[in-house]
């Protein structure tokens, strides 16, 4: 399953992209692949799957506005267990509003 999410990230804002989504919690053991891109510099990502830290806060890939991350180049992956919470947090450090494109790929194991 592939889920595309477009997030309007406010200046200096922090957003948990999957919060409140049906995909926030994994329902069966799965391979989870997450790719994020932004329209300019200054956006940082933090990725977690349950207790696993997939990516500690680091810069996202820069693309033209509304362009999805490229698979597999821009993706991080991890095996997630049933009931693991996926946290895809993005933070703006540039002081300007940004557009962040996230693609979530979930493959049941």
At 5-57, the pLDDT tens digits run: 999 999 999 999 999 999 999 999 999 999 999 999 999 999 999 999 999 99
pLDDT of 40 reads: 94
* Token digits of residue 35: 């790719």
Parse the chain into domains and list their residue ranges.
Answer: 2-108
What is the helix (H) or strand (E) element at residue 106, kind and residue range?
strand 98-108
Q: Topology of 2-108 in CATH?
A: Jelly Rolls (2.60.120)
Q: How far apart are CA 91 and CA 2, in angstroms?
A: 23
Beta bridge partners of 100: 7, 38
- pTM for the predicted model, two decimal places: 0.94
User: Environment class of residue 5 by beta-carbon count within 10 Å: exposed (0-12), middle (13-18) or buried (19+)?
Assistant: middle
pLDDT of 64 reads: 93
């Amino acid at each position: 399953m592939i889920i595309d999410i477009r997030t309007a990230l406010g200046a200096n804002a922090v957003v948990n992209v999957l919060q409140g989504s049906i995909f926030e919690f994994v329902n069966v053991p799965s391979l989870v692949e997450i790719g994020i891109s932004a329209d300019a510099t200054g956006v940082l990502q933090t990725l977690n799957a349950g207790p696993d830290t997939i990516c500690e806060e680091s810069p996202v890939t820069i693309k033209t506005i509304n362009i999805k991350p490229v698979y597999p180049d821009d993706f991080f992956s991890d095996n997630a267990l049933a009931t693991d919470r996926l946290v895809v947090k993005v933070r703006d450090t540039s002081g300007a509003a940004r557009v962040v494109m996230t693609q979530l790929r979930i493959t049941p194991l």
